[in-house]
Copies of this chain bind each other. A is one copy, B any other.
Amino acid sequence: MEKFKEYLQHHTNLSNEQFSILSNYLKTSKVKKQTLLLNQGEICSHSFFVEEGLLRLYSISDAGKEHIIQFAPENWIVTDRSSTFFNQPSEFIIDSIEDSKVVHISGEFMQKASEINAGFNQYFEKLLHNHIRHIQHRLSFLLGANAEQRYMDFIKLYPDLSLRVPQLMIASYLGITPESLSRVRKELANKNFKNF
């Protein structure tokens, strides 16, 4: 959990000793591609910090289609806050897209951390606000942009992910079909945006 420690110390003033106390409430695991970390209907009791690899958060509609809410590559935290906070079954699923190394952050960790270190709450409040800012931006984009604009926005936001994530998952994130995405990419290539 070295990377997670670095991450925390970069954003808060957590000391080595404080971290080693808190680490009792952490667990790391290596998971293969396509491993389920949170299932629909479960209560989300942990947050997941990605040290290596790539996770995703998504829902499945009544029609059986996947709607990807969020990707989480290295140094991202992913969780269903609503489920944790309101202690309700999650409507979302978290699983791994690549073989990954994940830190499981328990509720106890969060609690102890905010007792031990004042800057901790502050940082997690910042994360919350960042999260809201991000999905609000995405909302206003989904309301107005067509397939090409959405894809351009995606590669701007996640330059490296556009190569790592299978296209059908990018399509699901953008709210279009894989076929449409394929055509959009072809279009863009013709316009000499061959870099993407």
Interface centre among A68, A81, A133, A140 (most CB of B within 10 A): A140
**A129's contact among B86, B136, B142, B144, by CB below 8 Å, is which?**
B86
Q: Is the CB of A67 within 8 A of B143?
A: yes
Q: Is the CB of B85 within 8 A of A129?
A: yes
Q: Is the CB of A132 within 8 A of B81?
A: yes
A185 within 8 A of B: no
Nearest B residue to A68 by beta-carbon distance? Answer: B143
Copies per complex of this chain: 2
Q: Is the CB of B129 within 8 A of A132?
A: no
Q: Is the CB of A69 within 8 A of B132?
A: no
Complex contacts, A144 vs chain B, CB 8 Å: 61, 63, 65, 67, 175
Nearest B residue to A131 by beta-carbon distance? Answer: B132
Q: Is the CB of A140 within 8 A of B81?
A: no
In the complex, A161 Cα to B59 Cα: how many Å? 27
A82 within 8 A of B: yes
In the complex, A135 Cα to B140 Cα: how many Å? 11
Residues 28-78 of A contacting B (Cβ, < 8 Å)? 59, 61, 63, 65, 67-69
Nearest B residue to A173 by beta-carbon distance? Answer: B143
Q: Is the CB of B142 within 8 A of A132?
A: no
Determine how close the nearest CB of chain B comes to the CB of A129; give it in whole angstroms: 4
